[in-house]
Structure 1
C-alpha cells in the first residue's frame, strides 16, 4: 500500500499532465479556427480576393517593396499564387521603376521587366526611368540599355504615367506613340531633344533640367491645348508665356523662370499677339529665379492674359532691394481676374499703399499671405483693413485668413487688434452679418514679449473661436 506522500506526488504529476493536455487542446482549437478562416477566405470569389490583396499591398508606394509583397502573397499557397500571377490588376497597381544605376539601388534586368509588363497586361501602368546622378549616370557596363528599352517599348501604349529622371540613355529608343499617357514628368537631367507623340496627355512637368537651365526641348508632340496641369521650371519667361497661352484648358499652372542676364531678355516678345483668355485656369504660381531683373518682367507677363476663373495666385520674387511694383500692368490684369480669392506675395517690395490698391480690386479675396515683404505691413495697411461697418466699401470684405511671415513689424499692436476686431467680431459687424477674419498666423515677426501682450489683448476673441497662431 502506497504512503500518503507518494499518492500526493502521483496526483500532482497527473494534474500537471492534465493541465498540459488542456493547454494543447486550447491551442489546437485556436489553430482549427484559423484553418476554418483560411478555408472560408479561400472560397471567396477571385475578384474579391484580388481587391483584398490590393488593399494589403497599397500601403507601400515604393515599387521594390510592393513587388516583394506581391511575391510574398504568391508563396502562401497554390491557390493564392494562381490568383496573384493571373491578376494583371495587382501587377499594374504601383509605379514600375526601370533602374539602371547600380550605385543607387538594384538594377532592373531585361527578364525582370518583361515579366512585370507581361503580367500587368492589358491594364494601364505607371513607369519611372531612373538613372541616378543627373550629370554622370553610373550605368553598369554590362547593361544593354537599348535592349532594355526595346524590351519594354511594346508596353508603351499602356503607359498612363511616365517619369524620366536623369540622363536616361535608352530614352531615344522608346519611339512608340504613347497613346494612353496622361502624365509626363521629366526631371533631374538634360531634356531629350524630341518627345514621343502623346495625344492624350493632361499633366506635364519639366523640372531641374540642365546645368544652365537649358529649355530647348521640342514640345511639338505635346498637345498643349489639351493640358490641364503644367509645372515648368528652367524656362525663360517668354517661353513660359508662349506655352501658357497655348494651354486652352489648363486648370493649374506652376511656372519658374531660369537664371539669365538682362541681355538675354527681349521684353517686346512678351507683348506679341492679342489678349489670351484662359477661362479654365484657377491656380497660377509664378516664381522668378535669382539674378534677374524680374521687376521689368512681371508687367509684360500679365499684360496679354485674361483669367476670369482665377482663384489662387502666388507670386515669388528673390527679394532684391529696390524692385518697384508694376502698378499699372497688375491693375489691368486684376480687372481681367475678378474671382481672385487666394493671394500670396513673396519677396516683393510692394508698398502699403500699393498693396491696398491691389486689395481694393480683389473683393472676392478670402486668404492673403505676405512673405518677406518688408515695405507693406505697416500701420496704414491695418488702418485700411479697419474700415468701419458703415463704410460704403469695406476692403476685402470676404477675408477670413491672414498670414504674415518675416515681415518688418513696423506697426502697433493696437492697430492689429483694431483691424481684427473690425473684421466681423464687433457687435456692429455681427449685427450686419459681416464675414469674420477667422485666423491670423504670424511667423518670424514678433518677440516673445510682444506675442504675450497681443495674446492677452485678444483673449476674449480667442475664447469666441478666433485663431491667433505664432509659429
Structure 2
C-alpha cells in the first residue's frame, strides 16, 4: 500500500496490537467519521476539493475499520483454513493466467494475496494454497520459466501433477530445454507426469533422479531411442508407481518397476521389440492396452510363419489381469502374444483393427481364449472373421456374457445365428452364459435371414413367469439385450412387417431388442 497517507494506515495497525485498543479505536473511529462529515458539509468555492485534511481523515477511517474488522483478529491458522475453503479444489490441469483459459484456482490465490501485505505474506508461506497441477509449455519466454519456478517453489513440498506440452525438445534450444529441466528438477515431488513430446535427450542428460516417493502415474509420448542408447533408470525407483502409458520406439530402454504396475498402455513404432519380455515382469497387472505393435520376438519373425512353433515360447501367467485392449494395425501379427500368455482372471477383451488392414486370426487366438477361463466380455472391431472361426470362438468362451462385433464383415451369417440357437438336447451349447449380443455393421443384410434370427432369439428368451415355471433350468442364460445392425450394401429387401411385429412383441415382454438394416 503506497499512497501519500499510508503512514497513517500502518501506524494504526501497529497500535492495534496494544491492550484495550478496540475500545479506544471505536471512539477514534466515531470522532474521525464526525470530522469527515463536517468537512464534507463545508463549501468548497474554489472547486479544489477538501484538501489534505480530508484525505487524511479518509485514510484514518479506513485503517480503523480494517483494524476493528473481525477477520483482522483471526489467528493465522484459522485465516489459512478459510482461504483453503475459498480457493477451488486444486485439481485443474490448466496453468495460470498466461494461458487462454484462466485458472480459477490461481486467480483466487492472486486476489487473496492482493488484499494486504499481511495476507500476501501469509499466502506466500502457505504451500497448500498454490497450484499443484500445472501444464508447462516449452515455447514460452524466459520469464515464463522464472514464474514457473516460483510457483513450484511456493507449493513446496506438496506433490505436483505436471504436463509438458508444445516442446521441440532439443538441448541446443535453451529456453525450451529450461522449461523441461525446471520440471525435472522437481521430479522428487511428482505425483503424475505427462509429457507430450520426446524427452529422451533429457533422460540422457539426467540419467538418475533419485527416489520418486510420490510418483503414481506417468504418460510419456514420442520417446525416440537410438539402438545404441543405454537404458534410462530415471523412473526405476518409484515405489508408488502403478499406472504407465508409453509411446516409444524401444520400450526396453526405459527401466521401470514393472512388477508393481497395475495398469499399462504401451504403444510402439514399427520395428520395436522387447515388449514380451516387459510383460512377463508385470505380475501385478490388472489393465493392459497394446497398440501398433508388430511382434517379432524370441529371435523368430512370426509374421513369416504360417504355423508358429508353440514350443519356442513358454506359457507365462499374469494372474491379476482383468482388462485387455489390443489395437492391431498395419498388418502386424500378435501370434507371439497370444501364444505366450495365460490370463486366468481376465474378464474383458477389446480387439480393434482397421477394417481390411488388420491381421488374420488363427489357432493361436483360439488357444489364447481357451486359457482365459473367466472371460465375460469380448469386443472385436474391424477384424475379418470368417463364419467357421467365429463359430469356434463361441465354443472357446463358455463364461462369455457380452459379445460385440463391429464392422466384422463376412463372419455373421445364418450359420452364426444357428450356432447360437439353443436346443434342449444341447448339453454343451456354444456361449451358454451369453446374455447381451451387439452386432453392428456386420455385413450385407442378405447374409442372414429373418427366420434364422427369430429362431435364435426365441430359443434363449423366456418371460420371467415362463422361466420360473420351467420344469428344468435350461443350459443357456436368458437374453437381456440384442442389437443387430446390418450393412445394407447387399440389401435385397427391407425387413418385413411380420418380422418387425415379432420384434416389437419381444420388447413388450421385456427384452431389449433392436434389429434393423443401416440407412433403411
> Could you state the TM-score of these two structures normalised by the residue count of structure 2?
0.68
86, 107, 112: which is aligned to 1:71?
Answer: 107
Structure 1 position 355, deviation (Å): 1.8
Match of 1:121 in 2: 156
Is this contact kept in 2: 1:99–1:107, CA < 8 A?
no
Aligned CA RMSD, in angstroms, stands at 3.9
Shift of 1:49: 3.5
Name 2:502's counterpart in structure 1. 457
2:259 matched residue in structure 1 = 225
Tell me the residue number matched to 1:62: 94
- Residues 406 and 445, structure 1, Cα contact 8 Å, conserved in 2: yes
Aligned residues: 414
Counterpart residue number, 2:422: 387
Asked if the contact 1:204/1:229 (under 8 Å) is kept, the reply is: yes
2:281 to 246, 268, 273: 246
In 2, the alpha carbon distance for the partners of 1:253 and 1:462 equals: 37
The 10-residue stretch of structure 1 (268-277 or 278-287) with the greater mean CA deviation from structure 2: 268-277
The structure that has the greater radius of gyration is 2
Q: Which moved more, 1:268-277 or 1:182-191?
A: 268-277
Partner of 2:408: 373
1:99 aligns with 2:137: yes
Counterpart of 1:202?
A: 242
Cα 1:320–1:126 shift into 2, 3 Å: same
**Inter-partner Cα distance in structure 2 for 1:203 and 1:164:** 14
For the residue of structure 2 that corresponds to 1:458, the secondary structure is helix
How far does residue 455 in structure 1 lie from its aligned partner after superposition?
Answer: 4.1
Match of residue 275 from structure 1 = 315
Aligned to 1:34: none
> Is the alpha carbon distance of 1:444 and 1:422 closer, same or farther for their aligned partners in structure 2, counting shifts above 3 Å?
closer
What SS class does the counterpart of residue 115 from structure 1 fall into?
Answer: helix
CA distance in 2, matches of 1:336, 1:216: 27
**Cα deviation code 1:366-395 (max 9, x no counterpart):** 110112222321111111212135532333
Question: Do structure 1's residue 88 and structure 2's residue 127 form an aligned pair?
Answer: yes
Q: Quick one: distance in 2 between partners of 1:352 and 1:247?
A: 35
Residues 61 and 150 of structure 1: CA distance in aligned 2, closer, same or farther (over 3 Å): closer
Cα deviation code 1:385-439 (max 9, x no counterpart): 1213553233323222212122123111222222223223367545346643222
Deviation, structure 1 residue 230: 0.9
Check if 1:468 corresponds to 2:520: no
Give the counterpart of 2:342 among 299, 306, 317: 306
Report the 3-state secondary structure (helix = DSSP H, G, I; strand = E; otherwise coil) of the residue aligned with 1:75.
helix
Match of 2:461 among 388, 412, 424: 424
Indicate if the aligned counterparts of 2:139 and 2:175 stay in contact, CA closer than 8 A.
no
CA distance in 2, matches of 1:444, 1:80: 67
Structure 2 partner of 1:179: 212
Deviation at 1:286, TM superposition (A): 1.9
CA distance in 2, matches of 1:411, 1:393: 24
Structure 1 residue runs of 5 or longer lacking an equivalent are: 1-37
Q: Residue in 2 aligned with 1:445?
A: 487
Q: Contact 1:423/1:429 (CA < 8 Å) preserved in 2? A: no
Secondary structure at the counterpart of residue 407 of structure 1? strand
Deviations along 1:133-187, one digit per CA (max 9) or x if unpaired, are: xxx6699967262x44454444211111111212346554444235132212111
> Any conservation in 2 of the 1:123–1:158 contact (CA below 8 Å)?
yes
Residue 189 (structure 2) aligns with:
158
Q: Unaligned regions of 5+ residues in structure 2, if any?
A: 1-68, 303-307
Distance 1:167 1:449 in 2: 54
How far apart are residue 217 of structure 1 and its match?
A: 5.4
When residues 302 and 259 of structure 1 are mapped into structure 2, their CA distance, relative to the original with a 3 A threshold, is: closer
Q: Are the structure 2 counterparts of residues 61 and 452 from structure 1 closer, same or farther at C-alpha, using a change threshold of 3 Å? A: farther
Q: Distance in 1 between matches of 2:425 and 2:467?
A: 9
Tell me which residue corresponds to 2:4: none
